[in-house]
Amino acid sequence: MKLYASHRAPNPRRVRWVMAEKGIEDVEIVEVDIMAGEHRTADYRARFGVPHVPGLELDDGTSLTESIAICRYLEALHPEPNLFGRDPKEQALIEMWMRRCEIYLANPMMLTVRFSHPALAALEAPQPQVAEYNRGGAEKFMKTLDRRLAEREFIADRFTIADIVAVVGLDFGRLIKYRPPAELENLARWMETCHARPAAKAGA
């Protein structure tokens, strides 16, 4: 298998983190220079259908995109350590929090960076108002997470894909030197715990 990824983008890091947690080492990493537009070439679009990273090319030629879909595929191939849930109830709980973290935190943080970082103007024109609006939405959800993390070590009770999605989204803010509000102490503790995991360095 080949994973087409970019160290500049957060979504490929989700996949690299999952691979590191599971000890997956038989996937070739192909670096895609998104600043040079390599993900928009005719060859890349023909392979994956869309100009998105990450993309996973299977040995039989099947191509997958969307980071969570790729992570689910890897989970099916390598069930341990489990990141998506062991039974229907836990699967639903993890899915719920993963979706919340993606929709209300990771995606807004990505948009905050994309529309405010000067270097990313090569991809999209800066829109400060869009960036500010999304940052406000992300910080609102950070408060929700801070309250939840007051009672548990990880978002869904144990370390799962929900934590990976959330912390990778927050880490992307470093490109604009963003830090979550200092008063969110439970969130800060959780981030430190996640960063301490050896797999956290994968794709960073």
Domains and CATH numbers, the chain: 2-77 (3.40.30.10), 88-201 (1.20.1050.10)
pLDDT score at 120: 67
Residues 63/54, Cβ–Cβ less than 8 Å: no
> Which residues neighbour 188 within 8 Å (Cβ) at sequence distance 6 or greater?
180, 182
Average pLDDT over residues 159-171: 98
In 3D, which of 123, 193, 135 has the Cα closest to residue 169?
Answer: 135
Cα gap 138→93, rounded to integer Å: 21
Which residue reads 């970019």 in tokens?
A: 6
Cα gap 64→48, rounded to integer Å: 7
CA end-to-end distance (rounded Å), the chain: 21
Q: Does residue 4 carry a pLDDT above 80?
A: yes
Q: Does residue 204 carry a pLDDT above 90?
A: no
pLDDT score at 181: 97
Q: Does residue 56 carry a pLDDT above 90?
A: yes
Average pLDDT over residues 39-43: 95
pLDDT score at 117: 79
Cα 82 to chain center, whole Å?
Answer: 17
Both tokens of residue 189? 């503790």
Residue 5 bridge partners (DSSP): 31
